[in-house]
Amino acid sequence: MNRFWQLTAYPQGTDFASGITLQEEAMPEIGENQLLVENLWLSLDAGTRMWLTPRTDSYMDPTPLGSKIIGFVLSRVVQSRHAGFKEGDIVRAYGQWADYSVLYPDMGDIWVVEDIGDMRQHFAVLGPNGWTAYVGLTEYGKVRPGETVLVSAAAGATGLLAAQFAKAMGCRVIGIAGGPDKAALLTGTWGLDAAIDYKAQDVGGALAQIAPGGIDCYFDCVGGPILDAVLPNMAMNGRVAVCGLISTYDKEEREGPRNFDLILMKRLTIAGFFSPDFYFRGGEINRLTRPWLEAGKVGMAFDTTQGLENTLTAYGKLFSGGNVGKVMVKLTD
Ligand SMILES: NC(=O)c1ccc[n+]([C@@H]2O[C@H](COP(=O)([O-])OP(=O)(O)OC[C@H]3O[C@@H](n4cnc5c(N)ncnc54)[C@H](OP(=O)(O)O)[C@@H]3O)[C@@H](O)[C@H]2O)c1
């Protein structure tokens, strides 16, 4: 039998159990050019929340009701009917939140990955979160050494990588995160220059003190009130790389940023991006970031949950701030 998480209704807010249920089916059979894989790890990503709504103007189509939940998996090929893959290959791919997935390699977004010890790094420094951070900083944030870079959700997977990459690129880096423990981790373990606890501090006031010259690049994972507080603190000709808007994903009402006029007054550039547009550059980016990983210059904290049945609890951490670093579910012992 194969267990999988099924979307039965679009969840309300963060009550994921209201619309996502664990089901069982007979082991799927594969057709020509398909693979059956055993999922070893699930990568839980905040962006998935956008596919679990009925909105049709997002970057991915809504997941149809009745479907399995799609997500990144690290898996072992157990049966191959595709000439490019053999049994035993370890792949990173879009699969499902399930014990086993059927994959269609010709549709793309599947990579055979090498054994690097901690395979979770294939989703972190050397995977989609790392590619997002790198592309966001360089192509959209256009960071240069010596500049002041601000990162929100800085103790989460994508933000922690953006913050560390910016440090490795020679920038002064300020992180925003929820709670004193996360703020202390950012300046302690992760070597950021300063951190702001947005739950206890006035973000705008703190930025004015920490960065009186202004923020050159804001790598924004959050949007909402934090973005409102950051815009008045941007430097002239600053750039905002809009990576994510996690504060808004489960809201039906959409709000624009306050202080919109400052985009004009400060000559700001605000640009959104989605990493799937850059997955083809993953190998090239890894050639630059892997030496940082191997030298211990960058890394990742992992928040690991054991067992497919605990996936929703793990997923909820992304929206409550219960995680530090990359949230993953381990499916095998
Ligand atoms: N553009 C792309 O291609 C791309 C790719 C990957 C991720 N992203 C985006 O990057 C962001 C982070 O995703 P992730 O998967 O790496 O998750 P993550 O950062 O590991 O976890 C999400 C974090 O967001 C913070 N958060 C949640 N709700 C918040 C709110 N209302 N206000 C402020 N902070 C809040 C929480 O930290 P605190 O404790 O600090 O609140 C939480 O730990 C998301 O917006 C995601 O959509 C975009």
Q: How far is the CA of 275 from the centre of ligand 1 (A)?
A: 14
Residue 50 beta carbon below 6 angstroms from any ligand 1 atom: no
- Of 41, 45, 51, 43, nearest to 20 (Cα)? 51
Residue 162 in domain: yes
- Of 299, 277, 293, 289, nearest to 139 (Cα)? 277
Average pLDDT on 121-127 reads: 98
pLDDT at 156 over 90: yes
pLDDT digits (tens, 9 = 90+) for 67-87: 999 999 999 999 999 999 999
pLDDT at 272 over 90: yes
Would you give the DSSP letter of residue 314? H
d(CA 129, CA 121) in angstroms, rounded, equals: 10
pLDDT band at 129 (very low <50, low <70, confident <90, very high): very high
Q: How far is the CA of 88 from the centre of ligand 1 (A)?
A: 33
Q: Whose CA is nearest to atom 22 of ligand 1?
A: 318
Average pLDDT on 58-68 reads: 93
Same domain? For 174 and 257 the reply is yes
Residue 281 in domain: no
pLDDT at 171 over 90: yes
pLDDT digits (tens, 9 = 90+) for 278-318: 999 999 999 999 999 999 999 999 999 999 999 999 999 99
- Domain's final residue, options 238, 260, 276: 276
Same domain? For 16 and 75 the reply is yes
Report the nearest atom of ligand 1 relative to the CA of 177. Answer: 40
Q: Could you tell me which residue, 169 or 333, shows the higher pLDDT? A: 169
Q: Nearest 10 degrees: CA dihedral of 105, 111, 115, 121?
A: -130
Answer yes or no: are the C-beta atoms of 73 and 96 closer than 8 Å: yes
Residue 142 in domain: yes
Residue 164 beta carbon below 6 angstroms from any ligand 1 atom: no
Tokens of 70: 């799609």
d(CA 163, CA 153) in angstroms, rounded, equals: 10
- Determine the longest span between alpha carbons in the chain, in angstroms: 62
Q: How far is the CA of 278 from the centre of ligand 1 (A)?
A: 19
Q: Whose CA is nearest to atom 6 of ligand 1?
A: 129
**pLDDT of 256:** 85
pLDDT at 255 over 90: no
Choice among 37-51, 78-92, 143-157, 241-255 with the minimum mean pLDDT: 241-255
Q: How far is the CA of 156 from the centre of ligand 1 (A)?
A: 6
User: Which domain does 309 fall in, by range?
Assistant: 2-119+301-330
Q: Whose CA is nearest to atom 24 of ligand 1?
A: 153
Residue 127 beta carbon below 6 angstroms from any ligand 1 atom: no
**pLDDT of 44:** 98
d(CA 309, CA 163) in angstroms, rounded, equals: 32
Assign residue 29 the CATH number of its domain.
3.90.180.10
| Count of domains for the chain | 2
Q: How far is the CA of 2 from the centre of ligand 1 (A)?
A: 30
**CA distances (Å), 66 to each of 5, 6, 58, 61, 110, in order?**
10, 6, 20, 14, 24
d(CA 298, CA 291) in angstroms, rounded, equals: 9
Pocket probe mutation, ligand 1, options 190, 218, 221, 328, max atoms within 8 Å of Cβ: 221
Tokens of 254: 């959409």
Same domain? For 171 and 101 the reply is no
**pLDDT of 188:** 97
**pLDDT of 195:** 98
Average pLDDT on 11-32 reads: 96
Report the nearest atom of ligand 1 relative to the CA of 326. Answer: 20
**pLDDT of 253:** 81
Q: How far is the CA of 124 from the centre of ligand 1 (A)?
A: 14
pLDDT at 167 over 90: yes
Residue 283 in domain: no
**pLDDT of 250:** 81
Q: What residues have CB less than 8 Å from 94, skipping those under 6 apart?
A: 70, 71, 72, 73, 103, 109, 110
- The chain-wide mean pLDDT, for the chain, equals 96
Residue 291 in domain: no
Same domain? For 102 and 215 the reply is no
pLDDT at 1 over 90: yes
d(CA 131, CA 157) in angstroms, rounded, equals: 12
pLDDT at 58 over 90: no
Residue 274 beta carbon below 6 angstroms from any ligand 1 atom: yes
Residue 161 in domain: yes
Average pLDDT on 33-38 reads: 98
Q: Whose CA is nearest to atom 18 of ligand 1?
A: 156
pLDDT digits (tens, 9 = 90+) for 135-148: 999 999 999 999 99
Same domain? For 93 and 26 the reply is yes
Same domain? For 74 and 180 the reply is no
pLDDT at 60 over 90: no
User: What is the C-alpha end-to-end distance of the chain, expressed in Å?
Assistant: 18
